[in-house]
Amino acid sequence: MRTEARPAIPGHELSTEEQRALAVDGVLPSRVMRHSSPGDAARGLQLCAEAGAAVIACGGGTQMGLGMPPLRYDVAFSTLGLNRLLEHEPADLTCRAEAGMRLEELQTILQAKGQRLPFDPPHPDQATLGGIVAANTNGLSRAKYGTVRDWVIGIAVAYPSGKVARAGGKVVKNVAGYDLIKLHIGALGTLGVVVEVNFKVQNIPAAEGTVLARFERAEDALAAGHWLARRYLLPAWLVVLNREGLGLTGLAAEWPWALAARIEGYRQDVDAARAEVSDAVRRHTGRVEAQEAPAGFWEAIRDWSAPAQNAAVVFRMASSLIGIKQAVEAVGTDGGVAAQPAAGIAHVRVAANAASVLQRLRRASPDGTQVIVERAPAELKASLDVWGPVPAGFALMQGLKRALDPTSSLSPGRFVGGI
C-alpha cells in the first residue's frame, strides 16, 4: 500500500502557555496562524485543509465556550491581525471593517459621529466583529433592534478552497445573489472564516431612562414583560431576573423577582415608555422601586450570560413569547435567571447538577422550546448534550458542510449534530 506524505501542519509553534490560552474545551492546538489580509487568510485555510489539519477560528475568545468539544484541533486561526476599519460613511449610515476588529473599537469610531451598532454582546472590549457574526452573539436589545442578521449587509468569507468570496454588499437595500450572510451567522466558523463585515448603523438615541421593579411571583414579572413585548414603545432592554440572577448583578436587593427596563428614544418616547412600563408593573402586582440603575448595573446584566469564572454553567433557552414564560417558571430554584420576555430568550446560570437540570428543563419546557448549553467547564461538557436534538433540515446542513468544507477542517465536531 502506498501512502502519500501529507504536507506539514502550517503555522507557528506555540509555547505551553500559549497553547493553554488558546485551548477550546480543554483541547490544545499545536500551532497558531494569524493573517493581515483576507487573501492570506484564505491561503492559510487552504494549507490547513491540504495538511489535514483541524482549524478553529478565534477572535476575542469571548464565545469559545459555545458548541461541543472539538473532535480535532491543530491550528488556532486568529483573526486579530485583521483589525482595520475599511470604510465609514456617516451620511450613508454604513461601515465596513475587518473581522478581527473589537466591537468597542468600532463603537468608539461610530460614536464620534453620533452613531452606533445596536449590538450589546457581553465583553464588547474583547468581542470581535467576526466573532459576533460567527457565534451570533445577541445581547439584550435583540427584541427592540433585531439580531446580528438585521445589521450585517455584506460579508467576505475565507474558505478552505483558498478563495475569498463575498455576499451582500455595501448598500442597505440589496437583494442581488444568494444571502450567504445568513449562512455564516451563527455557524461557528464551520463553513468558512468571516474576514470582513459590512454593517448598517444607527443614530444613537437622544435620550434614555430606567425602570427597576420588584415582583413577588415569577408569573407576574413575566406577564408584565409579555404585556410590554407587544407594545409599540418597547424598551431597548427588558430583563426579568430571579433573586439568584439579580444577586449576580451585584445589585443589593432581595427581591424575589425583578423587572429591569432600559428605555431609549426621543425624550418624549422615553417619558411615555417609562409611564407604560410603570403601568405594566402595577397592572401585574409589581412595585416600581427605582427610576435609575446603580453604576455598573447594566454592564453586569449585559455580561451576565458570559461570566469570567471558568466553572460557570450557562444555558440559553429560546421559545415563543408565551413559551418562555413557562420555560422560566420551570427553572425554579435551580439557578439564576435573566429572561428577555420580549425576545423569547432566557439565560440560566446553574450552580450544581448541570446535567440533570438540563434534562429537566428540556422535558419541562413547552413544545418548540430549545435549551442549549452556552458555556460549561470542559470536564463537564463531555457529559452534556450541548445542542439538544438536531433541527429539521439537518441533512441539508450536513450537505452544506460537506460542500463548503469537504475535509471537515473547520471546527470539526463543535457544531450542531457533530458538524
Partner 1 sequence: MEQAASERLARQLTEVVGARYVLADLYERRLYQYDASPETALPDLVVIPGSAEEVARVLKICGEAGVPIVSRSGATGLSGGCVPIEGGVELAFSRLNRILEIDYENLRAVVEPAVVNLSLSLTTRPHGFYYAPDPASQAASTIGGNVGTNAGGPHTVNHVTGLEIALSSGELIQVGAKKSAERTGYDLTGLLVGSEGTMAAVTKIWVKLMPVSPVSKTLLAVYPDVATASEAVSGVVAKGILPAAIEMMDNASIRAVEAATHAGYPVEAGAVLLLEVDGIREVAEDLTQQMLQVCKEYGASELRVAKDEAERQALWRGRKAAFSAMGRLAPDFYVMDGVVPRTRLPEVLRAIEKISERTGYRIANVFHAGDGNLHPLVLFDGFKPGQYEEVLEIGNEVLKLCADVGGSITGEHGIGLEKRQHMRFVFSDDDLEVMDIVRRVFDPKKQMNPGKIFPVDGEEAHPVRARVTAPRARAPAGVAGDEEIWI
* Residues between 192 and 211 that touch partner 1 (CB under 8 A): 202-203, 206
Report which of 70, 83, 186, 163 is spatially closest to residue 126, judged by C-alpha positions. 83
In Å, how far are 221, 248, 258, 279, 287 from 242, measured between CA atoms?
9, 10, 6, 21, 15
In contact, 372 and 315? CB cutoff 8 Å:
yes
Contact window for partner 1 (CB under 8 A) among 15-23, 104-112, 176-184, 240-248:
176-184
Residue 98 CB neighbours (<10 A): 25
* Residues between 245 and 274 that touch partner 1 (CB under 8 A): 265-266, 268-269, 272
Residue 171 binds partner 1 (CB under 8 A): yes
Q: How far is the CB of 136 from partner 1 (least distance, A)?
A: 8
Supply the angle between the helices 321-329 and 218-229 in degrees, to the nearest 10: 170
In Å, how far are 154, 166, 169, 196 from 177, measured between CA atoms?
11, 10, 10, 18
E strand residue ranges, 46-151: 55-58, 75-78, 85-89, 94-98, 115-116
Q: How far is the CB of 22 from partner 1 (least distance, A)?
A: 25
**Residue 12 vs 266, nearer CB to partner 1:** 266
Ramachandran angles phi, psi of 8, nearest 5°: -65, 155
In contact, 277 and 263? CB cutoff 8 Å:
yes
List the x/- string, 127-166, binding to partner 1 by CB under 8 A.
Answer: -------------------x--xx------x-x---xxxx
List the x/- string, 296-335, binding to partner 1 by CB under 8 A.
Answer: ----------------------xxxxxxx-----------
Among 28, 93, 290, 355, binds partner 1 (CB under 8 A): 93
E strand residue ranges, 90-151: 94-98, 115-116
Among 186, 189, 209, 235, binds partner 1 (CB under 8 A): 186
Residue 363 binds partner 1 (CB under 8 A): no
Pairing of strands 31-34, 75-78: parallel
**Residue 29 vs 70, nearer CB to partner 1:** 70
Place of cell 493573517: 35
Report which of 319, 338, 347 is spatially closest to residue 221, judged by C-alpha positions. 338
Q: How far is the CB of 9 from partner 1 (least distance, A)?
A: 26
**Residue 173 vs 363, nearer CB to partner 1:** 173
Residue 176 binds partner 1 (CB under 8 A): yes
Residue 112 binds partner 1 (CB under 8 A): no
Among 232, 309, 333, 352, binds partner 1 (CB under 8 A): 232
* Residues between 27 and 86 that touch partner 1 (CB under 8 A): none
Report which of 5, 78, 71 is spatially closest to residue 44, judged by C-alpha positions. 78
Among 1, 5, 175, 311, binds partner 1 (CB under 8 A): 175
* Residues between 364 and 403 that touch partner 1 (CB under 8 A): 368-370, 372, 387-388, 390-394, 396-397, 399-400, 403
Helices (H) and strands (E) in the chain, counts: 15, 19
**Residue 11 vs 341, nearer CB to partner 1:** 341
**Residue 78 vs 141, nearer CB to partner 1:** 141
Rounded to the nearest angstrom, the gap between the alpha carbon of residue 102 and the centroid of all alpha carbons in its chain is 14
**Residue 8 vs 171, nearer CB to partner 1:** 171
Among 43, 231, 243, 360, binds partner 1 (CB under 8 A): 231
In angstroms, rounded to a whole number, what is the distance separating the alpha carbons of residues 337 and 325?
A: 12
Q: Which cell is 325 given?
A: 414564560
